[in-house]
Every structure is written in C-alpha cells, then in structure tokens.
Amino acid sequence: MLKRRILLLLTWIVTVVILVPLTGCENGGRKAAYDEAVKTIMDASKQRDFSRMQLLADSLGKAEVLSEAESYFWQGLAYYRMMQVHTAEFFWKEAMVSIEDSDDPADLDTYARAASYLAGLHIRYYNFQSASKVVRTALEHLNYHHYISTSDYTNLLVFAGCCKGHYNIDDEEVSQLFEQAYKRHLDHIAKAHARENYHDAVVGVINIAYGWLSEKKYKKGLFWNRRLKKLVSDYKQLFPNDSAYIDKQQARCHIFEAIGYEGIGKIHEAEDAFEAFQQSNFANTDEGHLDASNYLAMAGKWQAAAKLLSNLDNIFVHMQSGYSLDDIQKFLLKKYKVNLMTGQTDSASVVANQICQRLDSAIIKSQWIDSDEQETIRQKEEQILQQQEHLSKVRILSLVAAMIVITSFFSVYTYFRHRAERRLAVANAQLEQKNVQLAIANAHAEESARMKASFIQQMSHEIRTPLNILSGFTQVITTPGIELDDETRQDINSKITENTDRITTLVNKMLELSEVSSKTIIERADNVPVMQIAAQAIDESGISSAEHLTFYLESSPEAEKLYLQTNQQAVTRALILLLDNAKKFTHDAEARLRNDTNEAPEKKEKVVLRVTADTEKAVFTIEDTGIVIPPEEAEHIFEEFVQLDEYYDGTGIGLTIARSLVRRLGGDVFLDTSYTDGARFVMEILTSPQVTDSAS
C-alpha cells in the first residue's frame, strides 16, 4: 500500500510538471506537454516499470494531456506488458470504441494502433475468431476513411492473412494479403529510407516466413526468407554500424533457411545454412540457442539439441519466463522429448518433475492474474459508470435551468420532464439487471475457484505417483554394483515407459483443456471410414483387453459402409476419452458403489460400443453397466473439473474435452438419461461439413 501511495505521488508530480507548459502559450505549450507525456510513458516502459506506466497514462488522460483513446491505448499496453491480457483487451477495445465515430487523423492513428495490438493479442493466444472480427472491423473503418498508409494498417493485413490461413492454409487470398502487406512495406521504405520502416518490414516478413515454416509449407517459407535476406542486405548497406541488429537478422535468415531445406529434404544445404548460423554472435545467445534447438530436433540431432537446452533454467531467468502453460508447452516439453530421445532417462525424469512443479505454479499464477484482472476491470467499469452518472446529472441540471427560463412554455417543460423520468426508469432497470448479472457472475466465480483448487490437488496427486515410481526405479538402476537379470531389467524399462507416458498424457490433457473454451471450427479434411475410427479408439484406449469388464462392438450395415468427412485425430480422441470414462467407472471398486451393499459383483461389468449411421450423421453410443449418473447431473458432468464423487481418481476434464472437440466438429456429446442400468453416452458426428452448413 505504501509503495502504491509513493507511486501515485510521483505520478501526480510528473503530471503537474507536464501541465506547466500549458499555462504559457496555448498551441506550442500543448504540443510540448503532449511530447513530454509520451516520452515519460516510454521511459517507464523501457525501465519495465509498467505499474507506473499505467498510472501515468491514466492521470495524463484525466488531465486531458492525452486523449481518452490514447490513454486507454497506453494503459492497455502497460497491462499487456504485465501479462494481464484480459485487462489489456478491455482497454484496447475501449480505445477503439471511444473514437469509432471520429475522422481526426490523430484518432485514426490511435484506432489503427489499438486494433493492431488487439488482433496480435488474440492471434498469440490462438483466438483466431476474435482476431478475425477485430481485423475485419478495423480494415473496413480505416478503408472508409482512406487511412491506409501506416505500418499498423500493414500489420492488420498480415493478421488478416494469418486468420484466413488458420482456417484454410491453402486459401489463395492468404498469399494475396501477404503480398499486399509486403508491397506496402516496400512503399514505406521507398518514401523514406528510415530505420523504423526497415524494422517494420523485417518484423512483418519474419512473421510471414515463420508462419509458412510452422505450417510445414517449406517452399513458401524459403521464398519469403529470400525476401527477408534482401531486406537485411539493403539495411546493412544503409546502416552498416548497426552490427548487433544486422547479425541477429542474418542469423534468423540462416536458421529459417536450415529449417526450410531440412523440410524439403535438402540435407546438405540445410547443414550449410546451419553452419552459417553458428558463425553469428546471435547463435551464442539464449534466444539463438532456442532457435537452433528447433532445427536440431527437426533434423534428428537429439544430442546437440539436448546440449543447447541443458541451460534452459538460465534462459528462463534471462527471458523472465518459464512459469506459464505456453512456456511449458514450447520449451519444457521439447526438452523432455529431446532428453528422452537421447536415452537420458535421469534428465527426462528431472524435467518431468519440473513440469509438475511449474504446472502447479502456472495454474496458481493464472488464478491470481485472473482475479486481479477482474478487479481492475470492475473498478474501471465503476469509474466509467460514475462518469456517466456525472454527465447525466449535468444534463438534468441544464434541463432544469432551461425550464426555469422558459416557464411560460409549460407544455415544453412537462415534455422534457416526462422524458427525463422515462430515461431514469430505463437506467434504473438496466442497473438492476446489471446487479443481477454481477451476482450470478460472482457465484460462478466462487464455484470455479473451488473446482480449480480441487483440480490442482488432484493433478498434484496424479503426477506425483508416476514421478515417485520413476524416482524409485532410477535409484535402482543407478545403484553401484547392482546386477539385474534380463527379465527384471525389461520389467523396469516397461514401468519407466508406462509412467513416462502417464505424465505425458496428463500434460497433454492440460494443453487440451486450454482449448476447451475455443469456438474455432476444427478443419475437417479427412475422409475416413466410420469403423476405422471405432477400431482405432478401441485399440488406443485398451478397453478390449481390460480384465474387469466384457467389451462388445456392435455396428449397423449403414455404419460399416459410411465414410466421414471430418478430422480423424479429433473425433478419435473424443471417442477414446468416452471409452476411458466407461472403462474407469465399470472397475470393481466403482461398480460396487452403485449398489447399496458392500458385496462384490458376481460377474464382470459390460461395456458396449454401438455404431449406427444415417444420411446425415454417424452415432457412437457407449453403454456400460457401471455407476448410474442422476438425470439432474446430465449437463453438470461436462463442465471443467467436475467429479460427482471426489473419491475416484481422475482430473475431471475428460468429458469436457470430448464435448468441446465434437462440438467444434459440428456434432455433439450428451448423456442419455433414459438408460438406468449404468451410463449411456451418445456422440453424434455429421457426415460432412456441408451438412453442418445447411443445418446452421
């Protein structure tokens, strides 16, 4: 609290100092105050004092040194730097809304910047649906006002291409948008050979080249990499003294070239490009090590990749990262795979333990950040509401004064009075509705916090058990002088592999959970037989070999002939999760709980997978004789982290992920409550995307 008060005092002093020039001359003083305000905010950003940066932007906006939209933009940028992405999104949206009716060039510039940052934020977190909406609205607005000559407009073109490429990477319009953005970058450079123009162009082309390489479009990636090399070469001729920047960008050209050539099978050229990359100073940096490890892993040079990633903890400290789900996915899982491929089981076990610890930290940190962001947004909404109430009071006072002046026109006075009363009634009704919505949201937040806490405890137990097993076997293997026969060694290897796969499965479920809230349609490019999906799911779930149950597969003649136009990986994964659920809750311990007695069942439980089809959809019905789910819980069980009885092991996210995958494929998963001898889950998959379109 004391630190925040000191920060507020310093911010007030800086604001007063900036406002002093305004008391001199009107135009020159206001311009000087504005320039000083922007410089002060930028200095706070360079010093990574983002809390002060936010307070400065807020106070300078209230003092009208910055416009309302500019204040919102800078506050959004400050919160983004503090990794409070929801709050950043809120402020950037407010910046766009506050000036959406303005045609002033300064407002249009702020609008373009806010839209560019907001679209980039959505794309970074794979929310392409929201990004596409922002890009489309912003481009229409800027095109309408003919404000199309800025680098932010060019960035929006690149983001438009990224969004279209996400849904259909082979869409010709993707390449057209990238070409249009590239031409604009060249036009900016032709008008002024400035560092900023070259930097903007280099960043834009890097994003495009890296995007093609990430999508395994290696030839297109190499084509854009050649353009990148040309830009860097031209920059080097104009600014030869900027050696650090030139070295970094040339190194990126070489590593992109190595990845591209490796992808198309030109191994010798890829090795030459990587050798050139290693000659750069950038190759010896932390960021360079990460880039190099991508190529080495792709080329199957696991030992070299493991060596580069051995210093990952120091890299995290330098980059101020390593504790988010994104970092775990991009870095720690890659390091785990590299160590596993090189046979370094001890190192792989250590990395698995780090994943467990950082996974807990990432979840807890995410909860705190979400809580802080919700409070910040609530306070800002209250502030906006107070401003609106103040404006409303001013209007009412003005209206009363006008009515006193024109008392002779009593009829007009009555009209305005009645109109004001109606507005007040509407405002009160809206306020009551908001209060009800806030109460509901608060109840949901409390329930979510309780379920997340339970989930963290369960995940810790789920991961700690295989880690203990791995640790025990590692101690056995590494004990000096111990001799193991082949059968024992094979059994130990089998247990290590089994528990390593268990940890990997849990982490993959966490990553799948991050996609649950996504509404993005999954691409349906696979034409696959229905029965092949069923066979693959049965095989990977292991349900047919489970000793505690009898498994049956039934299919209709229509299903045996049907092919689905779908995403094979996603629909198979959903079916595996449903079969896993049936296998778990027909186990002896769980099956006994459905009876009122403690007696063990006299015969094995039964699970049936029934596959039927018609002209519009394929239906997978998973029916078991395990525990009975009450009808009132039929929807509740599909929510995140829900377990009807916390006595059972599990994470409580399997059904959530299954329904999310199927709905993004245009189908659905639901519980058939008419079945009372156990549980019956029904998964419906439409036969083709055309059916989805016509249905909608």
Q: Is 22 exposed, middle or buried (0-12, 13-18, 19+ CB in 10 A)?
A: middle
pLDDT tens, 26-71? 556 677 888 888 889 989 888 888 889 999 999 898 888 899 999 9
**Please, are residues 40 and 18 in contact by the beta-carbon 8 Å criterion?**
yes
What integer pLDDT is reported at residue 164 of this predicted model?
85
Measured distance CA(234)–CA(249) in Å, rounded: 12
φ and ψ of 620, to 5 deg: -105, 115
* Residue-level pLDDT at 138: 93
What pLDDT is stored for residue 22 in this prediction?
47
Q: Which residues of the chain have pLDDT under 70?
A: 1-29, 298-299, 302-391, 440-441, 443-459, 461, 509, 511-517, 588-602, 643-651, 689-696
Residue 412: which of 421, 422, 402 has the closest Cα?
402
- Of 607, 604, 629, 450, the C-alpha closest to 544 is 607
Cα 693–chain centre separation: 27
CATH architecture of 526-695: 2-Layer Sandwich (3.30)
Distances, alpha carbon 154 to alpha carbons 114, 133, 147, 232, in Å: 14, 17, 11, 19
Q: How far apart are CA 617 and CA 559, in angstroms?
A: 10
Say how far apart CA 150 and CA 33 lie, in whole Å: 24
Instruction: List the one residue out of 201, 154, 205, 206 whose CA is nearest residue 180.
Output: 154
pLDDT at 646: 54
- Six token digits for residue 628: 């009975």
**Cα(527)–Cα(417) distance, rounded to whole angstroms?**
68
CB atoms under 10 Å from CB of 439, counted, come to: 10
For residues 546 and 566, give the distance between their C-alpha atoms in angstroms, rounded to a whole number: 29
pLDDT, position 348: 53
How far apart are alpha carbons 125 and 665 in whole angstroms?
20
Cα separation, 70 vs 434, in Å, equals 28
> CA 458 from chain center: how many Å?
24
Q: How far apart are CA 452 and CA 454, in angstroms?
A: 5
pLDDT for 210 equals 84
As a whole number of angstroms, the distance between CA 644 and CA 636 comes to: 9
Domain boundaries, the chain: 371-513, 526-695
| Backbone dihedral angles phi then psi of residue 368, each to the nearest 5 degrees | -65, -45
End-to-end CA distance of the chain: 53
| Half-sphere exposure for 462 (CA within 13 Å, toward CB) | 23
Quick one: CA torsion of 19, 22, 27, 28, rounded to 10 degrees?
-80
Give residue 616's Cα distance to chain centre. 33
Query: Which residue, chain included where needed, has tokens 């029934």?
Result: 610
Q: What is the pLDDT of residue 182?
A: 93
Predicted local distance difference test score (pLDDT) of residue 477: 78
Fold of the domain built from segment(s) 371-513: Helix Hairpins (1.10.287)
pLDDT of 537: 96
Q: Which two tokens stand for residue 558?
A: 């229509």
Which of 325, 269, 313 minimizes the C-alpha distance to 289? Answer: 313
Structure confidence at residue 3 (pLDDT): 47
Please tell me the pTM assigned to this model: 0.46
Which residues 6+ apart lie within 8 Å of 363 measured at CB? 452, 455, 456, 459
* CA–CA dist 250, 244 (Å, integer): 10
Give the per-residue pLDDT at 469.
85
Please check whether residue 576 is in contact with residue 569, taking contact to mean a CB–CB distance below 8 angstroms: no
pLDDT at residue 501, rounded to an integer? 79
Question: Whole-angstrom Cα distance, residue 363 to residue 385?
Answer: 33
* Bridge partner residues of 684 (DSSP): 619, 668
Tokens standing for 309? 């990633």
Same fold flag, 371-513 and 526-695: no
Q: What is the pLDDT of residues 144-203, one digit of tens each?
A: 999 988 888 998 998 888 888 877 877 788 889 999 999 999 999 999 989 989 998 998
